[in-house]
Amino acid sequence: EETGDDESYDQYGKGDFMEHACKYCGVQNPACVVRCNVPSCRKWFCNSRGNTSGSHIVNHLVRAKHKEVCLHKDSPLGETILECYNCGCRNVFLLGFISAKTESVVVLLCREPCLSVNALKDMNWDLSQWCPLIDDRCFLPWLVKVPSEQEQLRARQISAQQINKIEELWKTNPDATLEDLEKPGVDDEPQPVALKYEDAYQYQNVFAPLIKLEADYDKMMKESQSKDNVTVRWDIGLNKKRVAYFVFPKEDNELRLVPGDELRLRYSGDAAHPAWMSVGHVIKLTAQEEVALELRASQGAPVDVNHGFSVDFVWKSTSFDRMQSAMKTFAVDDTSVSGYIYHHLLGHEVEMQMIRNTMPRRFGAPGLPELNASQVFAVKSVLQKPISLIQGPPGTGKTVTSAAIVYHMAKQGQGQVLVCAPSNVAVDQLAEKISATGLKVVRLCAKSREAVSSPVEHLTLHYQVRHLDTSDKSELHKLQLLKDEQGELSSSDEKKYKALKRATEREIAQSADVICCTCVGAKDPRLANFRFRQVLIDESTQATEPECLIPLVLGAKQVILVGDHCQLGPVIMCKKAARAGLAQSLFERLVLLGVKPIRLQVQYRMHPSLSEFPSNSFYEGTLQNGVTINERQSSGIDFPWPMPNRPMFFYVQMGQEEISASGTSYLNRTEAANVEKIVTTFLRSGVVPHQIGVITPYEGQRAYIVNYMSRNGALRQQLYKEIEIASVDSFQGREKDYIILSCVRSNEHQGIGFLNDPRRLNVALTRARYGIVILGNPKVLSKQPLWNSLLTHYKEHECLVEGPLNNLKQSMVQFQKPKKIYN
């Protein structure tokens, strides 16, 4: 029901495909188009030549051998079939205008026979100036306007070959579209992404099939996750809604439940209970990997039963639909983004444009820490440009910088600023920082996540609606109380409640300076008709291009993409789509197109010893340290670092890797056992669990370590449960005081898989503030050039060690020659 309300106004982009848009190029200005009047055709075409010798309408008429047309109802002559005034002939190839000799009156007359009738000469008409309707392969431009240069540039750039092909196709299938020409066969590899695109239609032709592939894969994978014999624990939430707790065992594949996901809980019934099912939203995942599911309807729930439930994943296409719709809007709606941004995003050559704004006197913002030089430089340059990229290496304060930028943009009075990121965590962090500057922030959450706890709850739209500060108790407030009490309202009250709520939501959202939501959330129906000229997207290197496009097509004139293309990109599950390049972010493509990212250069996270290798290997040595060795000294912690002033070591492991039970991942028992020893040593030395993070690239190893520590941990079990053990990928954007990295791969002949990606290594190495321990097999890892240089770096600093933890010794293990990299 709640989602029903969601979907009722969650339609595809506004007025996407005007019926009268030119079937070739999409131009939809009524003054520029005519309809082919052949009953089996009735398609619209414009009077622009585009890249061909004749105008689109003339092209069509000639290729299809159609001869009659009708003007648009909003054209100067209204809906009119063009025909000879005298005989009614409708063949446009014969028609032309004549005018009266004295008055400014004109008529359409056919060349044959009417124009050659002698009697006409004696009348009031001037036959000598007969003016053909089609002249120079184009309709008379004063009858059917030629689209402006601007309109033509933003239209689909169709070629003569494409016109011939589509006309051929229309003969057998009149409803075929240009997209059908490009459609790959079932087994074909999709068309790969490009650096530049002719137009937004070509862009859409490339990306739409990739998004479709990813959506299909996602659906298939999630819907195959049904589980039977699930044991449920019942509870009631603060909002009086029924909550079911259960363990939804995940295979060690990539599927991860996240709050907001929808699951269906089923009970097949027994002697005392009828069959039952309900859908709910995941509101949290406990440390014990228990899922909390808030049910949408709790009537009839068998709450006195605990065993024998089944759980299915309910797949929703919303986010994929919104990407597709954003691409359509980008193509057909020329107000979706400014012309400059349109051409820039497609890789067309556009002359540099500066925004003339009065610059603020200082570039910092109230409530934020002072900015350093590279941050000030970033804020200053961004404010003057319509498109900018900010690269924020780990710990360089990109959230603070982003917040300062948003603060200054909001103060320019160009309307509300839209702030997005692909992940909810990043949106929350940014919303909090922006709010600290004193700006009015609304954080818009998906309806399915309203029950999910958030550190910025007071900024969320649903919270603000509920806690509206009204002196007299408003109607909405009363209805809300009633709904909370009774669980539901009468249908008339429900209607009233919804209308009031929608109006209030709108009012609050409109009064904000800044709206924060995920990229996908930017197309939320509650923001329908909102326009944003200034958009900042954080973590943009973790979003696919179509995802990034969602917040941009709401009228963007100034765009700031923040991210780091030297860290991990978006996760693409479908290999075919990934191979075709869907994993490349818009940020990266813009870099390839020559947009130079502004790099933040001072890192405030890592002990200087820890930042040295990442700085040299990933950031050309430009990363400076904003923290000193003293500030990152682990005082009072007694841990056996081989070099006391360098809190890092590579712990040589020779244990074998194994394929995990699922057959799709790896684990390494020796490394897991040593991880436990290291964790225990940290805990004994006075480090508390939340300071430690264990990361590994493999889900198989992650699950194995969780299990191993809870069974074999030398200390209290609870301590190990409080330690976060996660994949490298899920640790991106976060930090811990101490990081233990388990590499897993250890084999003679195979590759090192996941570890091959330099961006993953960068992320793994840059999470720790105070110290890092890496466990791995140097013999195997050294084959890869980047790992080889990492191992060499550790060895040179006498941090490559082996032996028991309480007696670590320099390792003399021989490295292999790194393979050459071919680019």
Nearer to other proteins, 88 or 249 (CB): 88
Tell me, by CB under 5 A, how many residues bind Zn ion: 17
> Contact between 593 and other proteins (CB under 8 A)?
no
12 touches other proteins by CB under 8 A: no
Cα 491 from Cα 494, distance rounded (Å): 5
- Kindly state whether residue 129 participates in binding other proteins, applying the rule CB under 8 A: yes
165 binds other proteins (CB under 8 A): no
Q: Which does 64 bind (CB under 5 to 8 A by kind): other proteins, Zn ion, none?
A: Zn ion
**From the list Zn ion, other proteins, none, partner contacted by residue 24 (C-beta under 5 to 8 A by kind):** Zn ion
Report if residue 89 touches Zn ion, rule: CB under 5 A. Answer: yes
Question: Which part of the chain contacts other proteins (CB under 8 A), choosing from 200-208, 220-228, 529-537, 737-745?
Answer: 529-537
SS3 per residue for 517-551: EECHHHHCHHHCCCCCCEEEECCHHHCCHHHHHHH
Q: Which is nearer to Zn ion, 114 or 578 (CB)?
A: 114
Q: How far is the CB of 126 from other proteins (least distance, A)?
A: 6
335 or 717: whose CB is closer to other proteins? 335
Identify residues 87-106 at the interface with other proteins (CB under 8 A). Answer: 87-89, 91, 93-94, 97-106
Instruction: With beta carbons less than 8 A apart as the criterion, state whether 96 and 111 touch.
Output: yes
**Residue 594 contacts other proteins per CB under 8 A:** no
Q: Supply the angle between the helices 785-796 and 758-765 in degrees, to the nearest 10.
A: 30
Residue from 2, 7, 74, 112 in contact with other proteins (CB under 8 A)? 112
714 DSSP 8-state letter:
S
**Residue 345, binding choice from Zn ion, other proteins, none, Cβ under 5 to 8 Å by partner class:** none
790 — phi, psi (to 5°)? -65, -45
- According to CB under 5 A, which residues from 230 to 259 bind Zn ion? none
**Does a cis peptide bond (omega within 30 degrees of 0) precede residue 804?**
no
Alpha-carbon distance 537 to 422, whole Å?
A: 8
| Stretch binding Zn ion (CB under 5 A), from 77-85, 667-675, 762-770, 805-813 | 77-85
Q: Rounded to an integer, what distance in angstroms lies between the CA atom of residue 639 and that of residue 498?
A: 59
Name the one residue in this structure whose structure tokens are 């430690």.
Answer: 692
46 interacts with, out of other proteins, Zn ion, none, CB within 5 to 8 A per kind:
Zn ion
Give which of 43, 48, 54 is closest to 19, Cα–Cα: 43
Q: Minimum distance from CB of 86 to Zn ion (Å)? A: 5
Residue 181 binding partner per list other proteins, Zn ion, none, with a CB distance cut-off of 5 to 8 Å that depends on partner kind: none
Interface with other proteins, residue 415, by CB under 8 A: yes
Amino acid 531 reads: R
Cα distances (angstroms) measured from residue 137 to each of 59, 60, 69, 340, 731:
8, 11, 15, 32, 62
Which of Zn ion, other proteins, none binds 509 (CB below 5-8 Å, type-dependent)? other proteins
- Contact window for other proteins (CB under 8 A) among 112-120, 590-598, 631-639, 772-780: 112-120
Residue 117 touches other proteins, criterion: CB under 8 A:
yes
Which of Zn ion, other proteins, none does residue 104 bind (CB under 5 to 8 Å by kind)? other proteins
Q: Select 416 or 615, whichever has its Cβ closest to other proteins.
A: 416
Q: Which of residues 460-479 bind other proteins (CB under 8 A)?
A: none
What span, in angstroms and rounded, lies between the C-alpha atoms of 761 and 292? 33
Q: What is the closest distance, in whole angstroms, from the C-beta atom of residue 524 to other proteins in the complex?
A: 12
Which residue is listed with tokens 């840059």?
A: 766
From other proteins, Zn ion, none, interface partner of 77 (C-beta below 5 to 8 A by class): other proteins
Q: Which does 413 bind (CB under 5 to 8 A by kind): Zn ion, other proteins, none?
A: other proteins
Please work out the total of residues on this chain that contact other proteins, with binding judged by CB under 8 A.
86
Q: Which is nearer to Zn ion, 164 or 239 (CB)?
A: 164
Q: Residue 753, interface with other proteins (CB under 8 A)?
A: no
* Helix pair angle (475-486, 491-511), 10° resolution: 130
Nearest Cα to 607, choosing from 738, 493, 732?
738
Task: Please give the residues from 332 up to 391 whose contact with other proteins meets the rule CB under 8 A.
Answer: 335, 338-340, 343, 348-351, 353
Q: Which does 41 bind (CB under 5 to 8 A by kind): Zn ion, other proteins, none?
A: Zn ion
Q: Does residue 521 interact with other proteins by CB under 8 A? A: no
- Least CB distance to other proteins at residue 141 (A): 9
Task: List the one residue out of 298, 312, 307, 294 whose CA is nearest residue 230.
Answer: 307
Q: Which of 282, 316, 315, 313 is nearest to 296 (CA)?
A: 282
Q: For helices 608-618 and 758-765, what crossing angle results, to 10°?
A: 160
> Does 297 contact other proteins by CB under 8 A?
no
Can you tell me which of 2, 73, 77, 484 binds other proteins, judged by CB under 8 A?
77
Tell how far CA 785 is from the center of its chain.
32
Least Å distance, CB 532 to other proteins, is: 6
Quote the radius of gyration of the chain (alpha carbons, Å): 32
Handedness of CA 815, 819, 820, 821 (dihedral sign): negative
Give the one residue of 13, 20, 21, 25 binding Zn ion; rule: CB under 5 A. 25
List the one residue out of 520, 626, 583, 536 whose CA is nearest residue 10: 520
How many other β-carbons are positioned within 10 Å of the β-carbon of residue 436?
16
Our finding on whether 761 is near Zn ion (CB under 5 A) is: no
22 binds, among Zn ion, other proteins, none (CB under 5 to 8 A by kind): Zn ion
Using an 8 Å Cβ cutoff, are 257 and 285 in contact?
yes
State which of residues 3, 51, 80, 86 lies at the interface with Zn ion (CB under 5 A). Answer: 86
Calpha distance 411→406 (Å, rounded): 9
From residue 656, alpha-carbon distances to 393, 659, 704, 748, 814 in Å are: 34, 10, 14, 10, 18
- Please check whether residue 566 is in contact with residue 765, taking contact to mean a CB–CB distance below 8 angstroms: no
Tell me 723's DSSP state.
S
Of the pair 53, 628, the CB lying nearest other proteins is at: 53
CB of 95 to other proteins, least distance (A): 10
Helix (H) / strand (E) containing 552: helix 545-552
Question: Least CB distance from residue 111 to Zn ion, whole Å?
Answer: 8
Show contacts with other proteins in window 17-56 (CB under 8 A): 50-54
Q: Is 279 in the site for other proteins (CB under 8 A)?
A: no
Report the length, in residues, of the chain: 823
SS3 790: helix
**Segment 545 to 564, residues that bind other proteins, using CB under 8 A:** 555, 557
User: What is the residue type of 455?
Assistant: P
Report the site for Zn ion in 96-125 (rule: CB under 5 A): 110, 114
From the list 171, 170, 140, the residue with the least C-alpha distance to 24 is 170
| 89 or 728: CB nearest Zn ion | 89
Site track 30-69 with Zn ion (rule: CB under 5 A), x = hit: ------x-x--x----x---------x-------x-x---
Answer whether 243's CB lies under 8 Å from 294's CB.
yes
Among 124, 224, 288, 718, which residue interacts with other proteins (rule: CB under 8 A)?
124
Q: Restricting to residues 491-520, which ones interact with other proteins according to CB under 8 A?
A: 509-512
279 near Zn ion, judged by CB under 5 A: no
162 touches other proteins by CB under 8 A: no
Task: Give residue 212's identity as a one-letter amino acid code.
Answer: K
Whether the Cβ atoms of residue 464 and residue 220 lie closer than 8 Å to each other: no
Instruction: Please give the distance of CA 716 from its chain centroid, rounded to a whole number.
Output: 42
Residue 102's binding partner among Zn ion, other proteins, none (Cβ under 5 to 8 angstroms by kind) is: other proteins
The residue type of 434 is I
Closest distance of CB 124 from Zn ion, Å: 17
Question: Shortest CA distance to 34 belongs to which of 133, 120, 132?
Answer: 133
Binding site for Zn ion (CB under 5 A): 22, 24-25, 27, 36, 38, 41, 46, 56, 64, 66, 84, 86-87, 89, 110, 114
